[in-house]
Structure 1
Amino acid sequence: MAMESSLWSTCDYSHNVTFFYNLVGKKISVEWESRDVFVIGLGLTVCLIVVLANLMVMAAISMNHRFHFPIYYLLGNMAAADLFAGIAYINLMLHTGPWTSTLTKEQWYIRGALIDISLTASVANLLAVAVERHQTIITMQLHSKMTKRRVVLLIVCIWAVSIIMGLVPSLFWNCECDLDDCSTVAPLYSRRFLIFWAVLNLLTFFIMVAMYTRIFFYVRYQISHMSQHSSEIRHRQTVFNLMKTISMVLGAFVICWMPGLVTLLLTGCWAKTATPTPTRSSVWS
């Protein structure tokens, strides 16, 4: 029994994608079903809308000199991350269903890495915007005094961290050397990595929500106790309106991603571990 368990944890890189799906009991469609066609058609349509919408946002920020401030550069970078997410999901739609079994492990890892990179970049951008707004609005300013050079450096760091996080599963934190740790959601990923990734993103969400909640109530308090000078009223109302817009963006993002992250966390924590069976053993070759 100990020898069998040892073999089950031995690194063997000859397994294909189908092996890992069979291992965790996740079915790969053999033929196209009407549901598959509908999901892919709807998914591609939504992804194209996301790509076009974010291209318009990036173009508007680039061409309008009134938006050449740190907060708008960060929002533009967030649009770039969302555009990248749209492209990542287009790639997913074109490599899912019956096509999954034709993927090499490298192609499968690339498919997952693109999604990981886009989500990490979006979350990191939202966190950067939250920190920038907190620093700026607590002093009741409309725009940050951060230099363009620092903003560019921050954006580069965001993408560098995102790319690293996207490459982690394919480089070393996967279940190819520990088949008991394979995830039912992403069969080649380690369940421990998915738990770490979900907890990290959920923790970031809670931090951002706490920061925006503090800013929101602070601004409301300041507006209710400020003088009646018209220029001061307009300035603070502009700040408040900008905060409401950013808060709605954050709220929509959290609502869209929270269910998936919670699902990843629960699946990673309570999913059954894979155990070798005769049917699975037949796939080893």
Structure 2
Amino acid sequence: MLNVRFGCSGCAFRTAAMKHCFYNETVGFFYNNSRKELTTYWRTKDVLVVALGLTVSVIVLLTNLLVITAIVINRRFHYPIYYLLGNLAAADLFAGIAYMFLMFHTGPRTAELSLKTWFIRQSLLDTSLTASVVNLLAIAVERHQTVFTMQLHSKMSNQRVMILIFCIWVTALLLGLIPSYGWHCLCALEKCSSMAPLYSRSYLTFWAISNLVIFLIMVVVYTHIFIYVKRKMTRMSKHTSFHPRYKETMISLVKTVTIILNPWPSAKLDSAQRNTLHLMHQRA
């Protein structure tokens, strides 16, 4: 039986709410209500989806474990950007676990799930995806700061990075767990979504818009970075158009920008790249 806090927001209305809620119904009841197909036997495509899903999940788990391990043991990666990348790997690792849980509780097994298990399955997916999207935004902001200050690494303290990572996960957990604590359609069948039959359409709309806004902000940040870099390259071309080493300088500039936007290459710059970075900073 589902915990009573799953539905009512106040004890004073609990009795009245229970009369109109369907806490004791099966998952199949809500799927039928939303006219969403729910199979009771294993089809060929179900087996293929589960097999492929488990394979992808294992690959995601292993690759992100390697990334996290590399960041932990390599002192060259002990900078804010790498901590954020490590947290992104942790979010993807969590997504792999969530997807693996889904694969073990999908297909014909969906009809056998309790309402609580169904909500756990969906919350894991929503939380992991939100954590990844918010973390990508944090990385974009950090890259924006480093590009505009012409530094390879930001000067953000480790404490601030940890607070930022904590806020990322709190945000992801809040968005992922809200349906389990009231924002569902167990008490209003007419509001059930056809995509997720136990979720309210309003919650799915809110969740989708929230992630879309975060994504659009990230696009704006990176667009600003590219416009800024393009302008600096144009200024450099005007000052070096007749210089014999113009081509080499521009190539070094592109390499420098690539290193700034992609932190995974070695943190050491060669002399030409250092000179170009310094020249850009002087003419900013």
Range into which the TM-score falls when normalised by the shorter chain: 0.7 to 0.9
Over the matched positions of the two proteins, sequence identity in percent amounts to 53
Matched, 1:100 2:117: no
| Greater mean deviation of Cα atoms: 218-227 or 137-146 | 218-227
Aligned partner of 2:231 in structure 1 is: 221
8 Å Cα contact 2:143-2:261 kept in structure 1: no
Change (3 A) 1:67 1:234: farther
Change (3 A) 1:151 1:235: farther
Aligned partner of 1:191 in structure 2 is: 201
Aligned-partner Cα distance in 1 for 2:188–2:114 = 19
Structure 2 letter corresponding to 1:121: A
8 Å Cα contact 1:74-1:128 kept in structure 2: yes
Describe how 1:153-168 pairs up with structure 2 within 5 A.
Answer: 153-168=163-178
Aligned-partner Cα distance in 2 for 1:177–1:213 = 44
2:155 to 145, 158, 171: 145
2:257 to 240, 256, 259: 240
Aligned-partner Cα distance in 1 for 2:251–2:156 = 23
Deviation at 1:187, TM superposition (A): 0.5
Deviation at 1:234, TM superposition (A): 8.9
Aligned-partner Cα distance in 2 for 1:149–1:75 = 16
Aligned partner of 1:212 in structure 2 is: 222
Matched, 1:80 2:97: no
Kindly name which structure, 1 or 2, has the bigger radius of gyration based on alpha carbons.
Answer: 2
Deviation at 1:236, TM superposition (A): 5.3
Matched, 1:14 2:24: yes
Q: Deviations over 1:251-280 (max 9, x none)?
A: xxxxxxxxxxxxxxxxxxxxxxxxxxxxxx
8 Å Cα contact 1:216-1:243 kept in structure 2: no
Structure 1-normalised TM-score? 0.78
Structure 2-normalised TM-score? 0.78
Structure 2 letter corresponding to 1:116: D
Deviation at 1:245, TM superposition (A): 3.9
Deviation at 1:60, TM superposition (A): 1.3
5+ residue gaps, structure 2, are 1-16, 264-284
2:72 to 53, 58, 62: 62
2:136 to 126, 131, 150: 126
Structure 2 letter corresponding to 1:204: I
Q: CA RMSD in A?
A: 2.5
Aligned-partner Cα distance in 1 for 2:41–2:204 = 29
Aligned-partner Cα distance in 2 for 1:27–1:146 = 50
Aligned-partner Cα distance in 1 for 2:97–2:153 = 31
Structure 1 letter corresponding to 2:66: M
Aligned-partner Cα distance in 2 for 1:27–1:200 = 28
Aligned-partner Cα distance in 2 for 1:244–1:135 = 11
Deviation at 1:217, TM superposition (A): 2.1
SS at match of 2:153: coil
Deviation at 1:221, TM superposition (A): 2.3
Aligned-partner Cα distance in 1 for 2:120–2:114 = 10
8 Å Cα contact 1:50-1:83 kept in structure 2: yes
Aligned-partner Cα distance in 1 for 2:58–2:256 = 32
Deviation at 1:62, TM superposition (A): 1.3
1:177 to 187, 197, 200: 187
Deviation at 1:26, TM superposition (A): 1.0
Aligned-partner Cα distance in 2 for 1:208–1:239 = 22
8 Å Cα contact 1:88-1:111 kept in structure 2: yes
Structure 1 letter corresponding to 2:157: T
Deviation at 1:84, TM superposition (A): 0.5
Q: Deviations over 1:224-271 (max 9, x none)?
A: 4347799x979854551145548xxxxxxxxxxxxxxxxxxxxxxxxx
Deviation at 1:208, TM superposition (A): 0.6
Matched, 1:49 2:49: no
Q: Deviations over 1:179-226 (max 9, x none)?
A: 101011110000000011111111111111111011012123223434
Structure 2 letter corresponding to 1:13: Y
